[in-house]
Amino acid sequence: MLDSRRVFLFAAGAILFYQLIIPPVVGLADNGDFPKVTGRFDLSARVHRTYEYIDAVYEFRSDKHWVSDFYSLEIALTYPALWLNSLLSKDKNFDLRCIGAVHGALFLAAVWLFAPLLGDARRWARCTMYALVLFVYCDMMYVNALNSFYMDEPAYLFLLLTVVFYLRMLRWGSKLDAVLLILCSFLLVSSKAQHALLGFWIAFLFIAAAQTFYALRRGWWYVAAACLTAASFLMLWKAQPADYTGYPLYNVAFEEILPHSKNVERTLAELGLDDSYRFCIGMKAYLPNSGMDDPAFRQRFMQRLSFGKLAAFYVRRPATAYRTMRHGLSEAGREHAFGNFDISTGYPPNTESRAFALWSDVKNHFFYRHGSVFLFTFLALVALFGLLLGLDRKRLPRGAWLGGLCLIGASFMEMATATMCDSMDMARHSMIFFVLFDMIVLACAYLIIVGQVVNLRRIVNPPAGVASRHGRRNFPRISQGIQKAD
């Protein structure tokens, strides 16, 4: 007979197979980033209608070879996809579903490893949490992007695996889980320069909670934190061209901040710019007349404006910072980004898949073009999460409480990075923020369903003994008092 863990994995696999493999194939259209990965392998899209359609088939063309200055774990994940394609391809072209299979296998690994963490919960609570995880992370907003070459995908997948191995290590104190946690943290950091910032939060967690981790000696956690910090700095420094940061700075300055300024001259000066940049207002960096196609212009612009200066500007102008974040969240609330079908299907441009889209549709309904609602909903969710962690703090090992704190901090960081440091493709650039947002939703659901329900039962029928110190070292045993009821 199938147990709930196998049913959970089978359901996740069936949803992925239906969306990614069975025609019409769905994915996430390229916004122009794919060649940063595919160019190394001579892969060329047959149609390449950016934003509008995916390309389900890629051709191998040596004249399209391009080794970019971008470095990402997605490049490494393309190798097993090419190997799989060599086994399955009938016409020597590359089938997009091969990279989807690689991404999907990592997602299913996270699902399989997560399932035993709910083993102590009552059956109804366990099945409820399994259903919620499927409802959230098998939503089309997450699944469609698995059939793509975006560098955010390995960040998403190894973020899931990092969290799962962290919880497993707290639960069982396994040395293997601890080693895999450290490994997945490095893989997460190596996915994309933008998400390398997450490494600092994980390094902080390793240091702050090292004395509560029994799987490895304390010194090893300090070493892992130091190496992870160094890897994060290295990715921020070398994972993309030196002048690439000028593009998002240009976008947010001239498309988001200055068009809403009541005193343009003063705002230009506060950003470190002069009146000669006035012609840029309202323009995107990628337009041919933006000035960014001139290397000398780019160099002068980046000498005047950096992310550090932008952060200082936001500190001095909190109203502008709030307006920028609110507008970014208004656009990010769209959730669904770009077309999901190949042009051969005959669907109109930018057609989106409607399969398994209920969760993203709900968020779209409430948050799209309602940035303030999105922001204050997030703040309320964080407050609820903090309250629930506080109520269960005595039962939770210190590592769990600190992990929740880092989850909150990382969520704020990803939200600010996505909404205040660029003005393009907000829904896609906010993907990791969505992942963290949904993690907090599921964590609150778990603490309410399992923790607070058990607390109410204990008031009526308190347990006979007190949990041993060994039990407190494990992952939250807040369902310990109801085992006999099963």
The secondary structure of 147-178 as a DSSP string is SS--THHHHHHHHHHHHHHHHHHHHH--HHHH
- Locate the domains of the chain by residue range: 4-241+353-454, 246-305, 459-485
pLDDT higher than threshold 90 for residue 2:
no
CA distance 361 to 357: 6
Read off the pLDDT of each residue in 308-324 and give the average, rounded to a whole number: 96
Judged by phi (left if over 0) then psi (alpha if -120 to 50, else beta), residue 24 lies in beta
**Which residues, listed in sequence order, are joined to residue 45 by a DSSP beta bridge?**
58
The whole-number pLDDT of residue 482 equals 37
- Quick one: pLDDT band at residue 462, thresholds 50, 70, 90? low
Q: pLDDT-based confidence at 460, cuts 50/70/90?
A: very low
> Both tokens of residue 228?
């992870």
Asked whether residue 81 carries a pLDDT value surpassing 50, the answer given is yes
What per-residue confidence (pLDDT) applies to 485? Answer: 37
Q: Is the pTM of this model over 0.85?
A: yes
Cβ(259)–Cβ(281) below 8 Å: yes
Secondary structure (DSSP) of 442-459: HHHHHIIIIIIHHHHHHH
Higher pLDDT, 483 or 353: 353
| Residue 202 · residue 183 · CB < 8 Å | no
Q: How confident is the model at residue 268 (pLDDT cuts 50, 70, 90)?
A: very high
In the predicted model, what is the mean pLDDT of residues 442-462? 69
Cβ atoms within 10 Å of 215's Cβ, excluding its own = 18
Q: 57 has which bridge partners? A: 95
As given in the structure block, the two tokens for residue 225 are 């934190």
Q: Which of 208, 233, 257, 271 is nearest to 400 (CA)?
A: 208
pLDDT at 65: 96
Question: Residue 83: which of 67, 99, 72 has the closest Cα?
Answer: 99
Beta partners for residue 95, in sequence order: 57
Could you read off the pLDDT of 13-24 as tens digits, one per residue? 999 999 999 999
Report how far residue 397's alpha carbon sits from residue 393's, in angstroms, rounded to the nearest whole number. Answer: 8
Residue 4: the pLDDT is 85
246 Cβ contact partners less than 8 Å away, ≥ 6 residues apart? 285, 292, 298, 301, 302
pLDDT at position 472 over 50: no
> What is the C-alpha radius of gyration for the chain, rounded to an integer number of angstroms?
24
| Cβ neighbours of residue 76 closer than 8 Å, sequence gap 6 or more | none
Q: Is 107 exposed, middle or buried (0-12, 13-18, 19+ CB in 10 A)?
A: buried
Report the chain's mean pLDDT, rounded to a whole number.
91
pLDDT at 3: 82
